[in-house]
C-alpha cells in the first residue's frame, strides 16, 4: 500500500506534523495478550464486593433488578451494538423499529404522546427538560422539590447557565414526605417556567400529581421511575407536559453508575421543542411502512448553535435493552415486579421498625421500593457496624438532609433473598 | 460483491396477538393511584426473542461489514470487552457503596484517568462526561469558571473553524456563548481571519486536529499562540484522536484541555448511537475546576474527593459510564504503546490508500496527505443527474455502509470516508471498485437505490411533515 502511494516508509505519512510537536510513541507498557488482559482486569475487579458477598440496600435512583437472560441476549446482538446512529435508514430498519417501539413503550408507561431515544441519565434529562420549559414559556424560574437528589440539582444548575435559569425549592411535608402543597402555591410566581416534581419522590413516596397540576401555572415536568408506572396512574392522566426519569431499572445494570438511560417524553404539542434524537414512522419508495430519524432540524448537526441540545451520541443500546426488558416481561410481568417491589419495601420497613432504635418508614403513606429509616444513633455509626457484619445499608441522608436527624434511604428489589433481609435485620439488631 | 439484507415483514410488537393484561395485584397500590389500562405487549418469551433477532438482521453493524462513517471511527470492537463488562463486579456495584467495597472499580477509574492524561499530554482527567458533546460542555464550563475566577468573566465568544463538528456549535450555544466562525483557507484555519476574530471577548477556540477534512492543521502552534495572546483557552475536540496516537498529542500542540471519545478511538462500541464516553483532560492550572468527585489514590487506598471548592460541580450523576470505561481500559492494556501506535499508522495508511483509489473517480479538494479520513466531492455526479446521496444509497447494495455525507458543509456534495485501521487492503479495494462500478451504472438504478436492503428509499420528508413518534400517535392518526 505504501508503494502504491509512492511512499518509502510509514513515517512519510506523518511528514505534515511540525517537528516540535511530535512525540515518539506513548509512555505506556507494550500490549498484553488477551488471557493476560482478562487476568489483570478480573483480578482488579475482584476487589469489589457485590451480590451475595455483600447484600446492598442502596437505591437513590439506581436499582438492581433481575434482568432475564433474553434481554441481554437481545442487546448483545452485535448488529445492534456495533452499529451507530442510524443516519442511513434503509440499512437500519431493524434498530429504527426497535427504537420506535422503545419510544412507544415509554409513551404508554408515562401517558405521553412522544418520547426521544434517550438522554444520558435522569439528571441530564431534568436539565434538558428545564431548558425546554424555558423555550416553551420564555420564562426562567423553575420550581423544584426540596426532596430532590442533590446530584440532579447540581447537574440542573449547570444546564441552566445558558438562559440563566433560577430555582426555588419547595419543602416537603415533615409527616408524609411529599411536597408541601401550600408552599408550592406560594412558590409559583409570574415568571414560572416549570414546576418539577417526582413520583415516587426521592424518599420513595408517591406524590399527588393531580393536585400539583392544579397549582402549576405553566409547564409541569414529572420525574418517574418507569417501573412503578406499570401499576400506578401515569403523569399523562393528570396533564403533565414533560415526563423524565431514570430508565436504568428497565433491564439495565447499575454498573457503578453508568451507562444510564435518561427517559424523556412529552405531549404532542411540544415535540418540536424536544431535545434529542427521535424516530418516526413513514413509508419507503414502494409505499411500505418504514422508520427513520426525524425532526432532525432540531438537532446539533443541522441547527448548530440554535439546536435544542448539543446531544449527539446518546444511550441507544440501553433503550434497546429496555424495549427488550419491557417485552420479555410483558405487561403482566412488569406489574408483578412493580407490585412485588412495593410489597417487599413495605415488609422490610415493617421488620426494621421492630428493631429497637430504628424508625421506618420515617414518612407515612404509600411508597414504591425505598423509604427513609431514622436511627437514634448516627447513621455513620450504623453504616460501619452493618459493613462489619457483611451487609451494606442505605444511603446516609445526614449531610444533605440534616433536618431529618440520623437518617438513611433504604431500597429493596426482587433481587434480595430472604437471607439478605435476615442478615440486615440481625446486623441492625446488633448495632452497639 | 453480492449483498441482500434480510427482509422480514415484522409488525410492531404492539400489533402481535397479545395475552390478556391482568389488573395490578389488589391491595398493593392505593385505589386513587392504581392504574387500570396498560397497553403493552404481553407475549411469550420466544416470540420476543424472534422479533428482535429479525430486527437485528435488518441492522448493519461493524460486524456486518465495512462501515467507513467519517469522524465516527467505526473500528472493530473486540469481543473480550463485552465479557469483561458483563462481570458481576461491573454490573452489580452501586456507585454509593462504601469506597472500601469498590476498590476494584476505583482502581480502574484511577488508572484509566492517569493513562488518558499521558496519552493526551494533559495533567488531569475526569471520566464523568457521558459523550463527546458533554465533554465539550464540561470544557466550556471549566473555561468559564477559570476566566471568571481570574476576573475575566466578560468573555463570551467561542471561536470555531468552519470545519468544526456540529456539537461544538451546539455546546457553545447551550451555554449562551456567541459563536464566531473562522473560515478556512486551503483546508486549514485561515490565520489572518483567526487573528481578526480573536480578542478580548474570546473565551476559547475549539479545534479538532486533524480537522474534519482529514488535514492536519500544521500551523497549530501559531493558532495556539494567537488564541493565548488574546487571553482565550484552547480546547481540543478529540473525535479525530485516532490519527495522532503516539505521533503527537494535544498538550504538545498547545491545547489547555480536550475530550476523548472513548467509543471512537478506544473502541467501546457505538451501541447503535450510544452510550459513548467523553472524558475531559486539562492542564494543571485547570485541574481545580474539574467536576466532582475526583478519584484519588494515597498509595494504598482509592477514594472519592468531593472537597474541591472551585469545581464546576457535576455534568451528570455519579462518575461516568463505567461499563464503557472498563472496555477502554482493557483495550489500552491489550494494545499498549506498540499497538496504539500501529492503530494510528494503519488508520492513516488506510485512509490515504483509499483516497488514492477514489481519486480516480471522485474529486478530492486540496492536495497532499490526509490523516485518518478524507473528504471527496460528489459534485461531478450532477452531470449525470445524480447526487452524493444516490452514490451513498447505492453503496448499500454492494454491502457497504456509506461514509458520512454532506459534512463538512464547506465541501459541495461531501462524501467523507474514515476506513479505520481494522480493514484490509482487499476491503478498501472492493469499496473503491464499487464506487467505480456505480459511476458506470445506469443512473436510474443509482437514483432509485438501494434495492437490496430491508427498505427501499425512505421518505424522510413525510416523516418530518407528519410526525408519528409512537404507537399512541399512530393509533390516533389512524383513528382520525
Distance CA A20, CA B253 (A): 9
Tens-place pLDDT, residues A394-409 = 999 999 999 999 999 9
- Per-residue pLDDT, B177: 97
CB B371 within 8 A of CB B121: no
Q: Average pLDDT for residues A370-388, to the nearest whole number?
A: 98
| Cα–Cα separations (whole angstroms), residue A231 to A334, A337, A338, B55 | 8, 10, 7, 29
| Contact flag B455-A89 (C-beta cutoff 8 Å) | yes
Output helix, strand, coil percentages for chain B, rounded to the nearest 5: 40, 10, 45
| Contact flag A31-B338 (C-beta cutoff 8 Å) | yes
The minimum CA-CA distance between B340 and chain A, rounded to whole Å, is: 8
pLDDT exceeds 60 at position B201: yes
| Contact flag A231-B274 (C-beta cutoff 8 Å) | no
Banded pLDDT at B480 (limits 50, 70, 90)? low
Q: Where are the domains of chain B?
A: 80-333, 347-463
Q: Average pLDDT for residues A98-109, to the nearest whole number?
A: 98
Q: Average pLDDT for residues B187-210, to the nearest whole number?
A: 98
Residue of A312, A395, A413 to mutate when probing chain B, most B C-beta within 10 A: A312
The minimum CA-CA distance between B277 and chain A, rounded to whole Å, is: 9
| Contact flag B469-A103 (C-beta cutoff 8 Å) | yes
ipTM score assigned to the predicted complex: 0.98
| Contact flag B41-A331 (C-beta cutoff 8 Å) | yes
| Cα–Cα separations (whole angstroms), residue B102 to B258, B299, B464 | 28, 16, 47
Tens-place pLDDT, residues A271-322 = 999 999 999 999 999 999 999 999 988 888 888 888 899 999 999 999 999 9
Out of B25, B170, B340, the one facing A304 most closely (by C-beta) is B170
| Contact flag B334-A34 (C-beta cutoff 8 Å) | yes
| Contact flag B457-A284 (C-beta cutoff 8 Å) | yes
- Residue B272: partners with Cβ closer than 8 Å, 6 or more residues away: A80, A81, A83, A84, A85, A86, A95, A99, A316, A317, A320, B59, B61
Distance CA B106, CA B430 (A): 45
pLDDT exceeds 80 at position A323: yes
- Residue A359: partners with Cβ closer than 8 Å, 6 or more residues away: A353, A373, A374, A375
Out of A38, A48, A383, the one facing B80 most closely (by C-beta) is A38
Q: Is B107 on the interface with A (CB under 8 A)?
A: yes
For chain A, domains (ranges, CATH) are: 56-68+330-429 (3.90.1150.10), 70-324 (3.40.640.10)
Q: Which of residues 282-321 of B touch A (CB under 8 A)?
A: 312-321
Q: How many CB atoms lie within 10 A of CB B79?
A: 10
| Contact flag A282-B459 (C-beta cutoff 8 Å) | yes
Residue of A41, A154, A302 to mutate when probing chain B, most B C-beta within 10 A: A41
Tens-place pLDDT, residues B17-26 = 988 999 999 9
Distance CA A288, CA A89 (A): 13
Q: Average pLDDT for residues B133-144, to the nearest whole number?
A: 98
CB B260 within 8 A of CB B278: yes
Tens-place pLDDT, residues A19-68 = 999 999 999 999 999 999 999 999 999 999 999 999 999 999 999 999 99
The minimum CA-CA distance between B113 and chain A, rounded to whole Å, is: 13
Distance CA B136, CA B415 (A): 26
Stronger pLDDT, B18 or A115, i.e. the higher one: A115
Distance CA B402, CA B68 (A): 7
Question: Helices A150-159 and A122-137 meet at what angle, rounded to 10?
Answer: 40
Q: Which CATH number fits domain B347-463: 3.40.50.2020, 2.60.450.10, 3.60.15.10, 3.90.1150.10?
A: 3.90.1150.10
Closest residue in A to B170 (Cα–Cα): A305
pLDDT exceeds 70 at position B391: yes
Tens-place pLDDT, residues A253-277 = 999 999 999 999 999 999 999 999 9
What integer best gives the mean pLDDT of chain A?
Answer: 97
| Contact flag A48-B89 (C-beta cutoff 8 Å) | yes
- Is residue A25 helix, strand or coil? coil
* A to B CB pairs, distance under 8 Å: 623
pLDDT exceeds 80 at position A14: yes
| Contact flag B40-A330 (C-beta cutoff 8 Å) | yes
Out of A58, A95, A121, the one facing B316 most closely (by C-beta) is A121
Out of A88, A98, A312, the one facing B401 most closely (by C-beta) is A88
Tens-place pLDDT, residues A153-204 = 999 999 999 999 999 999 999 999 999 999 999 999 999 999 999 999 999 9
Closest residue in A to B111 (Cα–Cα): A44
pLDDT exceeds 60 at position B356: yes
- Per-residue pLDDT, B1: 64
Residues of chain A with C-beta less than 8 angstroms from the C-beta of B69: 84, 87
Q: Is B410 on the interface with A (CB under 8 A)?
A: no
Q: Which residue has the cell 415536568?
A: A221
- Per-residue pLDDT, A303: 84
Out of B42, B52, B119, the one facing A324 most closely (by C-beta) is B52
| Contact flag A84-B67 (C-beta cutoff 8 Å) | yes
Q: Average pLDDT for residues B79-100, to the nearest whole number?
A: 98
Tell me, which fold does domain B80-333 have in CATH? 3.40.640
The minimum CA-CA distance between B323 and chain A, rounded to whole Å, is: 6
Q: Do domains B80-333 and B347-463 have the same CATH topology?
A: no
Out of B74, B349, B459, the one facing A1 most closely (by C-beta) is B349
Q: Which residue has the cell 452501586?
A: B94
* Residue B259, strand partner residues: B237, B280
| Contact flag B353-A1 (C-beta cutoff 8 Å) | yes
Q: What is the CA radius of gyration of chain A?
A: 24
The minimum CA-CA distance between A194 and chain B, rounded to whole Å, is: 19
Amino acid at each position: 500500500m505504501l508503494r502504491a502511494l509512492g511512499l518509502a516508509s510509514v513515517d512519510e505519512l506523518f511528514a505534515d506534523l511540525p517537528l516540535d510537536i511530535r512525540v515518539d510513541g506513548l509512555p505506556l507498557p507494550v500490549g498484553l495478550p488477551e488471557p493476560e488482559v482478562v487476568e489483570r482486569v478480573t483480578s482488579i475487579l475482584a476487589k469489589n464486593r457485590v451480590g451475595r458477598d455483600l447484600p446492598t440496600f442502596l437505591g437513590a435512583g439506581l436499582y438492581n433488578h433481575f434482568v432475564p437472560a433474553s434481554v441481554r441476549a437481545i442487546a448483545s446482538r452485535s448488529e445492534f451494538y456495533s452499529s451507530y446512529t442510524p443516519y442511513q435508514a434503509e440499512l437500519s430498519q431493524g434498530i429504527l423499529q426497535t427504537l420506535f417501539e422503545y419510544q412507544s413503550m415509554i409513551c404508554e408507561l408515562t401517558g405521553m404522546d412522544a418520547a426521544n431515544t434517550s438522554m444520558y441519565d435522569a439528571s441530564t434529562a431534568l436539565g434538558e427538560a428545564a431548558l425546554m420549559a424555558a423555550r416553551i414559556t420564555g420564562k426562567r424560574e423553575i420550581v423544584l422539590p426540596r426532596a430532590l437528589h442533590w446530584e440532579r440539582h447540581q447537574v440542573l444548575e449547570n444546564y441552566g447557565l445558558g438562559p440563566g435559569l433560577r430555582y426555588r425549592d419547595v419543602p416537603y411535608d415533615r409527616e408524609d414526605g411529599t411536597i408541601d402543597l401550600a408552599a408550592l402555591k406560594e412558590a409559583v410566581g409570574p415568571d414560572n417556567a416549570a414546576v418539577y416534581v417526582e413520583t415516587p419522590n426521592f424518599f420513595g413516596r408517591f406524590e399527588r400529581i393531580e393536585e400539583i397540576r392544579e397549582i402549576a401555572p405553566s409547564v409541569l415536568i414529572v420525574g418517574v421511575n418507569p417501573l412503578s408506572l406499570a401499576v400506578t396512574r401515569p403523569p399523562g392522566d393528570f396533564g403533565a407536559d414533560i415526563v423524565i426519569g431514570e430508565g436504568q431499572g428497565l433491564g439495565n445494570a447499575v454498573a457503578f453508575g453508568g451507562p444510564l438511560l435518561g427517559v424523556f417524553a412529552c405531549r404532542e404539542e411540544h415535540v418540536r421543542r424536544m431535545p434529542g434524537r427521535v424516530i418516526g414512522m413513514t413509508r419507503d419508495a414502494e409505499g411500505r411502512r418504514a422508520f427513520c430519524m426525524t425532526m432532525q432540524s432540531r438537532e446539533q448537526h443541522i441547527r448548530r448553535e440554535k439546536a435544542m441540545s448539543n446531544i449527539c451520541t446518546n444511550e441507544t443500546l440501553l433503550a434497546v435493552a429496555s424495549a427488550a426488558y419491557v417485552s420479555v416481561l410483558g405487561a403482566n410481568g412488569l406489574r408483578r415486579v412493580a407490585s412485588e417491589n412495593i410489597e417487599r419495601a413495605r415488609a422490610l420497613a415493617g421488620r426494621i421498625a421492630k428493631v429497637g432504635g430504628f424508625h421506618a418508614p420515617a414518612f407515612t403513606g404509600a411508597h414504591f421500593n425505598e423509604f427513609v429509616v431514622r436511627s437514634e444513633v448516627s447513621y455513620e455509626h450504623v453504616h460501619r457496624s452493618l459493613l462489619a457484619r457483611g451487609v451494606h445499608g442505605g444511603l446516609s441522608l445526614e449531610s444533605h438532609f440534616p433536618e431529618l436527624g440520623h437518617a438513611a434511604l433504604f431500597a429493596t428489589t426482587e433481587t434480595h433473598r430472604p437471607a439478605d433481609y435476615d442478615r440486615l435485620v440481625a446486623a441492625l439488631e446488633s448495632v452497639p | 460483491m453480492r449483498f441482500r439484507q434480510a427482509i422480514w415483514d415484522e409488525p410492531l410488537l404492539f400489533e402481535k396477538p397479545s395475552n390478556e393484561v391482568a389488573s395490578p395485584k389488589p391491595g398493593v397500590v392505593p385505589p386513587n393511584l392504581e392504574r387500570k389500562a396498560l397497553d403493552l405487549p404481553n407475549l411469550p418469551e420466544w416470540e420476543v426473542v424472534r422479533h428482535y433477532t429479525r430486527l437485528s438482521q435488518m441492522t448493519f453493524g461493524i460486524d456486518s461489514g465495512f462501515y467507513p462513517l467519517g469522524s465516527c471511527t467505526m473500528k472493530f470492537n473486540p469481543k473480550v470487552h463485552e465479557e469483561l463488562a458483563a462481570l458481576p463486579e461491573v454490573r452489580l456495584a452501586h456507585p454509593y457503596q462504601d469506597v472500601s467495597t469498590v476498590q476494584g472499580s476505583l482502581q480502574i477509574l484511577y488508572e484509566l484517568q492517569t493513562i488518558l492524561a499521558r496519552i493526551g499530554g494533559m495533567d488531569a482527567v475526569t471520566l464523568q462526561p457521558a459523550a463527546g458533546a458533554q465533554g465539550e460542555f464540561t470544557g466550556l464550563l471549566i473555561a468559564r469558571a477559570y476566566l471568571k475566577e481570574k476576573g475575566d468573566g466578560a468573555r463570551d465568544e467561542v471561536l470555531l473553524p468552519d470545519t468544526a463538528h456540529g456539537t461544538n456549535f451546539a455546546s457553545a450555544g447551550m451555554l449562551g456563548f456567541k459563536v464566531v466562525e473562522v473560515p478556512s483557507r486551503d483546508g486549514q484555519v485561515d490565520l489572518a481571519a483567526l487573528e481578526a476574530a480573536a480578542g478580548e471577548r474570546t473565551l476559547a477556540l475549539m479545534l479538532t486536529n486533524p480537522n474534519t477534512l482529514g488535514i492536519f492543521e500544521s500551523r497549530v502552534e501559531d493558532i495556539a499562540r494567537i488564541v493565548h495572546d488574546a487571553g482565550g483557552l484552547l480546547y481540543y475536540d478529540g473525535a479525530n484522536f485516532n490519527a495522532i496516537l503516539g505521533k503527537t498529542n494535544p498538550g504538545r500542540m498547545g491545547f489547555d484541555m480536550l475530550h476523548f471519545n472513548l467509543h471512537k478511538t478506544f473502541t467501546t462500541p457505538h451501541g447503535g448511537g450510544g452510550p459513548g464516553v467523553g472524558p475531559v483532560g486539562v492542564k494543571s492550572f485547570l485541574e481545580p475546576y474539574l467536576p466532582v468527585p475526583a478519584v484519588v489514590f494515597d498509595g494504598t487506598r482509592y477514594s472519592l474527593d468531593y472537597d474541591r471548592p472551585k469545581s464546576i460541580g457535576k455534568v451528570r450523576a455519579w462518575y461516568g459510564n463505567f461499563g464503557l470505561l472498563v472496555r477502554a481500559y482493557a483495550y489500552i492494556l491489550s494494545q499498549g504503546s506498540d499497538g496504539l501506535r500501529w492503530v494510528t499508522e494503519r488508520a492513516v495508511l488506510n485512509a490515504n490508500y483509499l483516497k488514492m483509489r477514489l481519486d480516480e473517480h471522485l474529486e478530492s479538494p486540496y492536495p497532499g496527505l490526509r490523516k485518518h479520513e478524507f473528504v471527496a466531492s460528489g459534485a461531478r455526479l450532477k452531470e449525470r443527474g445524480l447526487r452524493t446521496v444516490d452514490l451513498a444509497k447505492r453503496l448499500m447494495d454492494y454491502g457497504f455502509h456509506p461514509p458520512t455525507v454532506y459534512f463538512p458543509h464547506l465541501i459541495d456534495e461531501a462524501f467523507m470516508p474514515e476506513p479505520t485501521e481494522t480493514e484490509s487492503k482487499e476491503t478498501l479495494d472492493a469499496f473503491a471498485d464499487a464506487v467505480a462500478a456505480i459511476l458506470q451504472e445506469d443512473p436510474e438504478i443509482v437514483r432509485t437505490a438501494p434495492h437490496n436492503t430491508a427498505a427501499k428509499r425512505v421518505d424522510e420528508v413525510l416523516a418530518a411533515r407528519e410526525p408519528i413518534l409512537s404507537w399512541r400517535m399512530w393509533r390516533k392518526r389512524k383513528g382520525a
